[in-house]
Amino acid sequence: MKLGLGLYKHMLNDEYYRFARQCGCTHVVVHLVDYFNRGQDNRPVDQPLGGLGGWGVAGDPNKLWSYEELAALKAEINAAGLELEAIENFDPAHWHDVLLDGPQKARHLENCKTIIRNIGRAGIPIMAYNFSIAGVAGRIKGPWGRGGAEVVGIEGAENDPLPQGMAWNMVVDEHARGGIVPPATPEQLWQRAKDFLDAVVPVAEEAGVTLAAHPDDPPTPTMRGQPRLVHQPRLYQKLLDLHPSPNNALEFCIGTLAEMSEGGVLEAVDQYSKQGRVAYVHLRNVRGHVPSYRETFIDEGDLDVLRVLRILKDNKFDGVIIPDHAPQMACAAPWHAGMAFALGYLRAALQSVGAAE
């Protein structure tokens, strides 16, 4: 297995690439969406949080990620001695009506296809997405970690309705004139996911790109009054079964699986890695589960990380693992310290199960 680091858009520079290499990473996963763009209460010092107004303002709806910029990014990362494994998340500006079943749906499906083609042409193997109306919302943060480290968690779902002009916990229309996004039924949400996969899986196959789905984080059955797609481990299977193609795969977030209320996280790791449908892994630890949990340092919490790695190894997963989130540590560089701690632990753990590369 390979060790990687996820980098937010503002981290795409040589200093962060060197930091990743120094921590033992061979790969990076890149976020091209600027989650922090003009965010009211969301600062770029940690994983994005935000309040009811969301993380920030989504990107330019008319400017898709071009082949040229993706190829240049890959070249820059390769020059730093790293591989670019995946682009994580579409920009809600480019595909919100795929999620909302809105009036621009046909155009937004074409946007997704164009981006997938550009990613494939640039030689980037994976496009990861999170098919979620409300997105990563409703989380709280406090000094609840070991030694008072700042961590995120939840206390119940945030079901204040999603206002018009928001999707995926970002602002997609700053001029929306009030009202709420009508709540979908779970059946409607699954139909939207099927419409999406029907449209993009053939394009991904042709482009040599693996599509990788993140589960809903936090995995509450609803968020902002909207249903969630993958909020129990078994629902990942339903998503895979919508399309048998190996290009329909998973951005396998084991921390989120551990937060799910039905449990069975180790069985889920076995079930999905055995099918060869895990594109890459988010690995972090957590204490508790929906409706109340806290993220923790990777060496504590409810999840037996060494057992997870042994299962992945036994099932011949040889892709990339990234730490996903880490607690903020008390020093001048809280994000770096948290990630370095998690990566050091993961590197030792991979060596101890005989799966380091």
SS3 175: coil
- Dihedral sign for Cα 252, 255, 261, 264, please: positive
SS3 76: helix
Q: Which is nearer to Mn ion, 158 or 217 (CB)?
A: 217
Cα(175)–Cα(266) distance, integer angstroms:
46
Query: Taking each helix axis from N to C terminus, what angle separates 233-242 and 186-207, rounded to the nearest 10 degrees?
Result: 60
Q: How far is the CB of 264 from Mn ion (least distance, A)?
A: 18
Q: CB burial class (10 A; 0-12, 13-18, 19+) of residue 348?
A: middle
Q: How far is the CB of 114 from Mn ion (least distance, A)?
A: 26
The region of 20-28, 219-227, 276-284, 311-319 touching Mn ion under the rule CB under 5 A is: 276-284
Q: Which of 82, 171, 253, 254 binds Mn ion (CB under 5 A)?
A: 253
The region of 19-27, 93-101, 120-128, 279-287 touching Mn ion under the rule CB under 5 A is: 279-287
Is the Cβ–Cβ distance between 266 and 308 less than 8 Å? Answer: yes
Q: Which is nearer to Mn ion, 97 or 217 (CB)?
A: 217
Closest to 82 (Cα-Cα) out of 10, 9, 12: 12
The region of 271-279, 281-289, 292-300, 306-314 touching Mn ion under the rule CB under 5 A is: 281-289
Q: CB burial class (10 A; 0-12, 13-18, 19+) of residue 7?
A: buried
For the chain, give the number of residues.
357
Q: Which is nearer to Mn ion, 158 or 324 (CB)?
A: 324
- Is residue 324 within the footprint of Mn ion (CB under 5 A)? yes
Positions 62 through 81 that interact with Mn ion (CB under 5 A): none
Strand partners for 287: 294
Burial 254-287 (b: 16+ CB within 10 A, else e): bbbbbbbeeeebbebbbbbbeeebbbbbbbbbbb
Residue nearest Mn ion, CB atom distance: 253
Q: How far is the CB of 29 from Mn ion (least distance, A)?
A: 10
The region of 129-137, 302-310, 324-332, 348-356 touching Mn ion under the rule CB under 5 A is: 324-332
Q: How far is the CB of 218 from Mn ion (least distance, A)?
A: 11
Q: Which is nearer to Mn ion, 85 or 324 (CB)?
A: 324
Cα(315)–Cα(311) distance, integer angstroms:
6
Q: How far is the CB of 256 from Mn ion (least distance, A)?
A: 5
The region of 126-134, 144-152, 246-254, 262-270 touching Mn ion under the rule CB under 5 A is: 246-254
Cα(129)–Cα(212) distance, integer angstroms:
6
Q: How far is the CB of 103 from Mn ion (least distance, A)?
A: 31
Q: How far is the CB of 255 from Mn ion (least distance, A)?
A: 6
Q: How far is the CB of 72 from Mn ion (least distance, A)?
A: 27
- Is residue 282 within the footprint of Mn ion (CB under 5 A)? yes
DSSP string, 12-59: -SHHHHHHHHHTT-SEEEE--S-TTTT-SS--TTSS---BTTBS-B--
x-or-dash string of contact with Mn ion, 166-205, rule CB under 5 A = ----------------------------------------
- Binding residues for Mn ion, rule: CB under 5 A, are 253, 282, 324
